[in-house]
Amino acid sequence: MDDTLTRDLFEEEGDDENIAPIESHASQAYLSYAVSTVKARALPEVADGLKPVQRRILFAMHAAGSQGFAKCARYVGEVLGKYHPHGDASTYEAMVHLAQPFSMRYPLIEGQGNFGSRDGDSAAAYRYTEARLARYAELMLSEIDEGTVDFQKNYDGKFDEPVLLPARLPFGLLNGSFGIPVGFSTRIPSHNLGEVARAAIAVIRDPKIGVDDILALMPGPDYPGGGQIISRPDELRAAYESGRGSITMRARWTVEQLARGQWQIVVTELPHTTSARQVQEEIQALVEPKPPAGRKDVSPEQKRTRQFILDLIESVRDESDRKSRLRLVIEPRSSRQSVEETIAALLVHTSLETKIPLNMTWIGLDGLPDQKGIVAILREWAEFRLATVRRRTEFRLKKCEDRLHIVEGRIEAFAHIDEIIKVIRACEDVASARAALMARWKFTERQAQDICDLRLGQLTRLDGIKLNDERKSLEVERDEYNRVLGSDRALRAVVVKELEHDARKYGDPRRSAIESAERASIEHSVVEEPVSVIVSRRGWIRARNGHGIDMSTVSFKDGDERFVEVECKTTDQMVLLGQSGKTYTLAVASLPTGRGDGVPVNTLVASDRDAIAWIGAGDAHTLLLIHTSAGNGFVCKLGDMVSRMRAGKEFLSVPQGAHVLPALRLWRADSPPKGSDGYWVAALSSDERLLLFPLTDVPTRSNGGLGVALLALPPGVQLASLAVTDGRTLTVSGERRGRMIEEVLGAPALHDHMGKRAQRGRVLDVRLKAPRLIALSYE
């Protein structure tokens, strides 16, 4: 094991205090332990839903045996000294997280003192706070001493710690989890206990159950702070089926009517991870904007937004207290303005409406991290739970048989008690008495030792009756354990019964309402007029009224030149594709007009130094063929590229050393041209090899990505040009003797270049310098 690797892993986690132990404990076992712990530190297990530090904290508190509250410093020291040789700050932080009711849907630790707030306030130091295990921790630890899970040695081999905790419910789904360990990330939402229990029961009864049946029982997340989930059912289904997606949440509010027709908005529930302080700071940032990085003044968009918010909002104050968990009051500028318009503006411009990522990456029962769908998660947990109940039953059966063995020996001894007393009194010591009992009455060694250890007070007739009753009870108990172990159906019935009991005992009503709704938007009335959007080589953008503009009359700044222009309407959304693969969206109506040079694109969107590779506008259902010079590509709709964020969204994966080529516009997805099923993609490489393959071989990727290989390219060769053809003609343009020439290739010539996607293609024989393909017109 490499010491440097271990040091790098600890440093990446931000835990410098671990470097010294590595140097002082240089054993191979310690280093292996350290690396495996760091790599998996932020990923929960499917079995118990815990990260290693959380598991060690709960086990240490259980092992301490304290009934009431105890100083957190005591538990932190216990965890560090015995199980978790890392920093005390990170351990205490994990302990605080387990006790925060606004972070954990079902807190496993009950805290006393200052354990932080939803607004981001830190907890008090561990010497001031106290804690004890919460009632929900019973679901984690009640079976820890019944042989249900394996134990392993701690980091120095002096103590034993559990590999997993025998969770009676899928706590990974109940409390959720988040983290970014080395090479992975996870964001698991919390859920309602009763709903998860019902879903787990359904999976145990029918392991082949589908995602739709699961979502009928467990329709979505249930966050500690409530809020409203407005994601559509199909979005939730896709996220839970794949284990990746996003949840759209919205705050919940009421409108309070005041005297003289006044009113105010009172927010009572916020989306998960959003705080009242955050909303106040966002509104403050809107009314007091700061110039973007590298700029001296705020952008026109910031000025418009500032005035828009000032016209709507008078003040925002947080009136939350112990009686009212959350009360964020927003006063309007005027009582005559629309409530709906005010709320819509707040939802659009603040975190009162937000998207929460969902990424269900776990460490499975095989010990490997993987992204899992909800059905796979519940099946794997059910497998774990069935295994723990089987082990618990085996443990209890052995304990029952051991006791029954002792009781049977005592009953036999009770029948011959006078003779046994004489034999024992005649022996010199316990060993000889034990041997005499074993020889005469065939007692086992354990039975004989138990008889020797009996007190005289246990030889009464009443005790004899109790022994017979206990034997009958133990025999019934033994038969029941054997029945459960001998039948998979009986074992599953036991697990189902326990889940139903736990759901009744610990379940509570849902807090987050699931009510599908469209995301909030603000509509501005815009007159529909034809315009031409012009972008220069250096990224300056402007709009000119009308179509068919003579570009020779358009001037540019010194050193700049024409790059691209698009004819569209003032009501359109303009999509910009950057060389980084990000897409940005601008309202055409918001672009500067007139005879000026326009404004830099990066003042309207947060593109920074991201050069614009392509712009497009028009029908959102228009199909596009997106591709890069590395020869990868896919089909998507123009609407798929729209981004609501000023910073854009990651859409196209651009391989290192490649660049984005202008998108190829096709046709509307719902009205393809006649015969388009027989269209071909023509791909031309920089070494002038041409390949034609069916357009249907290119997949549609609504979420973007890398795409598929369109053309096989050796090192140093790039994709130069792309076009779509009907297979009968293809126009190629290029330079010949100083003039631009266009040549039309017919069907016989194209047939020689037809093949399958991702092939190399054949050399194009047109004798043109720097040939380019001209796209087919679909009008």
What is the rounded distance in angstroms from the CA atom of residue 627 to the CA atom of residue 722? 9
* Angle in degrees, CA 516, 265, 289, rounded to 5: 95
Instruction: Specify the residue for token string 């966050």.
Output: 223
Provide the residue type at 615 as one letter.
I
Q: DSSP assignment of 50-115, as one string?
A: --HHHHHHHHHHHHHT--S-EEHHHHHHHHHHHT--S-HHHHHHHHHHHH-TTT-SS-SEEEES--
Residues 237, 241, 245: CA angle, nearest 5 degrees: 70
Nearest residue to 372 via CA among 168, 163, 171, 211: 211
Are 611 and 636 in contact, with CB atoms under 8 Å apart? no
Q: Which residue has tokens 């027709």? A: 261
Residue reference for tokens 């959720």 = 176
* β-pair partners for 722: 683
Is 685 in contact with 763 (CB distance < 8 Å)? Answer: no
**Residue 62 CB: number of other CB atoms within 10 A?**
19
d(CA 477, CA 396): 9
User: Residues 215, 199: contact at Cβ < 8 Å?
Assistant: no
Residues contacting residue 560 through CB under 8 Å, at least 6 positions apart: 536, 537, 538, 540
Q: Please tell me the distance from the alpha carbon of residue 202 to that of residue 379, in angstroms, as a whole number.
A: 10
What residues form DSSP beta bridges with 649? Answer: 583
Q: Do 621 and 688 meet the contact criterion of CB atoms below 8 Å apart?
A: no
- d(CA 122, CA 116) in angstroms, rounded, equals 5
Q: How many CB atoms lie within 10 A of CB 204?
A: 22
- Has 128 been annotated as catalytic? yes
CA atoms of 166 and 145, how far apart (whole Å): 10
Cβ burial of 714 (10 Å; 0-12, 13-18, 19+) is exposed
Whether 264 and 332 have beta carbons less than 8 Å apart is answered as: yes
Residue type, 203: V
* DSSP 3-state percent helix, strand, coil across the chain (nearest 5): 40, 25, 40
In this structure, how many other beta carbons lie within 10 angstroms of the beta carbon of residue 646? 15
245 strand-pairing partners: 358
Separation of alpha carbons 213 and 134, rounded Å: 32
Strand partners, 514: 229
Catalytic hit among 128, 155, 481, 584: 128
Would you say 278 and 380 are in contact if contact means Cβ atoms under 8 Å apart? no
Sheet with 353-359, edge to edge strand ranges: 177-179, 186-188, 353-359, 244-250, 228-229, 513-514
Residue with tokens 């937004």: 305
Exposure letters 364-384 (e unless 16+ CB within 10 A, then b): beeeebbebbbbbbbbbbbbb
Is residue 8 within a helix (H) or strand (E), and if so which, with residue range?
helix 3-12
Among residues 700, 621, 703, the alpha carbon closest in space to that of 667 is found at: 621
H/E stretch holding 747 reads helix 747-751
How many residues does the structure list for the chain? 779
Which residues are identified as catalytic?
A: 128
